A and B are shown apart, each in its own frame.
Chain A
């Protein structure tokens, strides 16, 4: 009957929509986790790699709050190392000089679009480029 073919059509459309992730990835090729550019001068980050992977944003927010509201300018890690609290100077200038090869790779991969860190903080690489 006429209506039955409509139902089949609707069902096919629905199945196509639901299986969209499967077909999309087949078309786009499997996206493997990107390699990150780790700094040469350091072997250790502020906290462990696992912690930084899951909670670096929390650390940065805590830093911001302790610096701006409590005027605490140094961070002491659990094993006694100290760091200046500064995203631009400590994280970006000293180690992760190329934001595009470190921060952005993982953010793009996970669909974390432009965290508002970059509304204020400067990508050192970019300033170098514009100074030249």
Chain B
């Protein structure tokens, strides 16, 4: 039902964008995008600042390999980093290549009964494909927001349309992101265990992204609209002198409305893993618990009575009883 409701909600939002654009263009084309970006920036900043306040006094790294100890024991530099540099590499691999997803396994009970763990690389592959193509698509879209269009954006476009299929040239990322999103959605439906833990928000993000991608694909390949008009609007937004050109397609308003919803939804949703991945204490700390003493900075000062003090206190009695003393 969660999937159904979120699909309905995304469809309603799409319809609102489609018809709202022609009825109230200024609202859907200018006010909502500005509001969305403001919510995104403020919300994201607030969330990260809130996270930054949470103390992490101890090193609670997830160790995935041999710890650094004696020099003749080979240790795992990336999976159990002992230094800051190792941690940087570990984080880079995690953020750029999703290394922990690569370790994804599936547990099944086979006849016997015996429990069998098998590798499941498809989640990693689809996640990697989705995130990288999404970045590429974002880069390509900068052509609407920047004037003159910088070289790296044009390069991204050229690479993306490398095969020169059709006119306008087919972008590879459009196909890849659709396939990846479809896999991520089907995975939630087909696997009963994943389906059980899937919530409304999980499906909502996926359907929203699918709606965004599909409306973008429709705009590029099927229902063409005046690109220079869109650039005029986007540049106007970026230079704080927004003006709404006439004759923009309703699909465009649907596209920008879904994007605004996604951007505004971002700080309140699981999409915040974009910032969160950098702040995972199980990943971003060096495992040097045995090399360095980490003292909890807000420890209450505990009154202690050391052995030396105790011995001083009872020295005469200990000596009289003939018991050994540390300090004679």
Contacts and interface: CB of A to CB of B under 8 A. Distances in A.
A8 interface: yes
B145 A21 contact: yes
Contact of A31 (B48, B148, B225, B279): B148
Nearest to B143: A111
B280 to A, nearest CB: 12
A50 B154 contact: no
Interface stretch (B101-109, B120-128, B199-207, B231-239): B231-239
B226 A54 contact: yes
Contacts of B249: 54
B226 A50 contact: yes
A118 interface: no
Dominant secondary structure at the B interface: helix
Nearest to A117: B167
B129 interface: no
Given A7-B279, A30-B235, A25 B226 contact: no
Which secondary structure dominates chain A's binding surface?
helix
9 closest A-B pairs (Cβ-Cβ)?
A: A31-B147, A111-B143, A111-B149, A21-B145, A7-B52, A53-B226, A30-B239, A21-B238, A54-B224
B231 A109 contact: yes
A56 to B, nearest CB: 9
Contacts of A57: 167-168, 224
A120 interface: no
A110 B149 CA distance: 8
A11 B239 contact: no
Nearest to A33: B232
Interface in B142-169: 142-150, 153-154, 157-158, 164, 167-169
A39 interface: no
A115 B167 contact: yes
15 contacts: A3-B56, A11-B49, A15-B41, A15-B45, A22-B238, A24-B150, A30-B239, A31-B147, A50-B247, A57-B168, A58-B167, A60-B167, A111-B144, A112-B227, A115-B168
Contacts of B238: 21-22, 24-25
Given A53-B229, A111-B149, A113-B154, A61 B167 contact: yes
B184 to A, nearest CB: 24
A25 B231 contact: no
A28 interface: yes
Contacts of A28: 146-148
A55 B44 CA distance: 39
Contacts of B150: 24
A131 interface: no
A126 B143 CA distance: 28
B227 A25 contact: no
B224 A110 contact: no
